[in-house]
Structure 1
Amino acid sequence: MQFTDLLECIAQLGRRHHRLAGTDRRHIHDLRHTTASWLVGQGVSLPMVGKLLGHTTTVTTARYAHLATDPVREALEKITAAMGRTANA
């Protein structure tokens, strides 16, 4: 993906965010924050999000950690699904 494509994608996400929120205030920081939040929510790792946003330290990206999927829940869901497949076999 080209950098300009990424910027356009971020801009589109921001426009959608403001439209859904009923606001018309647009700031580049809003777009970056929304994009980072959505990326983390979709399971993209914090180091990757930081790299995409150009963060120089992990501390800056760590503010999005609360949005990450709970790894304990993920592990339990995986083992539960595996046990279900074994029991049905």
Structure 2
Amino acid sequence: MRTFIAIAAVIAALTGYPALAEEPASQQSTRIDIDQAAKTFVFIIDDEPVAMLDKEGLHVVGGIDYGRSLTDTGPDAIKSMIPSVPKEAADE
């Protein structure tokens, strides 16, 4: 009986379900791509770039809708709202 169980276990181990291969990672149709060389964030929707954020500002292909207010506070006010990020060792 033990031999039968051992043989059955070996056969089950050898003929078990094959490992399922994972599907290759595909890019999502909605994402934010970071380009370190150009120092930009590119916003992608339905695999098309719709906006870019860089040091100069936000650049949008389509329209901008807002429902409340739009205030021009100047760059100094915005800089004070953004938390400072410590420099990485590679930047020093």
TM-score (norm 1): 0.19
More helix by share: 1
Greater RCO structure (CA 8 Å; 6+ sep) = 1
